[in-house]
A and B are shown apart, each in its own frame.
Chain A
Amino acid sequence: MDMNPSERLNATFFALADPTRRAILARLADGEASVVELTRPFGISQPAISKHLKVLENAGLISRGRDQQRRPGKLEAKPLGEVADWLEKYRQYWDLNYRRLDILLDELQSLEKKTKSKKR
């Protein structure tokens, strides 16, 4: 079943929300690695690593090699690119709004000062 873009983004965000999974992705950015190879640096069990890899694979963030024994994980860049694009647009949008809010807050503060000095 194909996911629509927002579902895909949800799955990607969920996969990225876990620090161990992010560390696994960072490790895979240096090259493919098998479950056994990933188990060593992270100090967690093979089943736990396999579970994390499954979430990453479901989100399309990694693919698994065909070698039945090793099934090395390999990073797939497209979903991360989509997250980056989306986050960037979101950031730009809020950045503009908040810059306007800065100006408004300045204005309100100088108005308050004026009102106070008038009262005195």
Chain B
Amino acid sequence: MNKLTITAGDNNDLIMTRSFDAPRDLVFKAFTTPELIKRWLFGPPGWEMTECAIDLRVGGKYRYAWSNIDGSSMGMGGEYREINKPEKIVSTEKFDQAWYEGEAIGTLTLTEANGKTTAVTKVQYGSKETRDNVLKSPMESGVAAGYDRLEEVLASL
């Protein structure tokens, strides 16, 4: 089983890395073809993908939506900024009920070696202004608890 790693980058971003036992062209296809995306990009358990539209060109838009069995729905979408098939896609992304301000910028990079393809997804959250505002505001101090998860967290960063 190929392992998924998630790390926090230097620029308010999150970086996810995962390898697949498949050639790059195929992985690129699976990441950019609506019929294929619908077969793997599910929501959390209990959710199904109900909408997947892709206009794969610079300036083109994409939109994904999911529904829950209880009837609630969530959606996200954005615009392609850069497409370099089959290596790299840069796009904006924003959830309908965004829990962060502004748009996030997502970068998908695919590299192939020895028949394996490594997908690196970088998502940069929030604008610089938002981040600076966040840093300026004082915040409630946390309540001291055990440090049991510290090592785990630091190791994952």
Contact = CB atoms under 8 A, between A and B. Distances in A.
Interface of A: 1-3, 5-8, 10-11, 13-14, 16-18, 22, 25-26, 29, 55, 58-61, 63, 74-81, 83-84, 87, 90-91, 93-98, 100-106, 108-109, 112
**Does more than half of chain A's interface fall in helix, strand or loop, or is it mixed?**
helix
Interface in B59-111: 99-100
B24 to A, nearest CB: 11
Contacts of B138: 1, 58
Contacts of A103: 40
8 contacts: A14-B12, A58-B139, A75-B150, A77-B145, A87-B153, A90-B14, A100-B42, A102-B2
Contact of B11 (A17, A76, A78, A108): A17
A3 B26 CA distance: 43
B7 to A, nearest CB: 10
A28 B40 CA distance: 42
B135 A55 contact: yes
A114 B126 CA distance: 46
Q: Which 9 A-B pairs have the closest CB atoms?
A: A78-B142, A76-B142, A100-B40, A105-B22, A101-B40, A6-B99, A77-B145, A60-B142, A84-B149
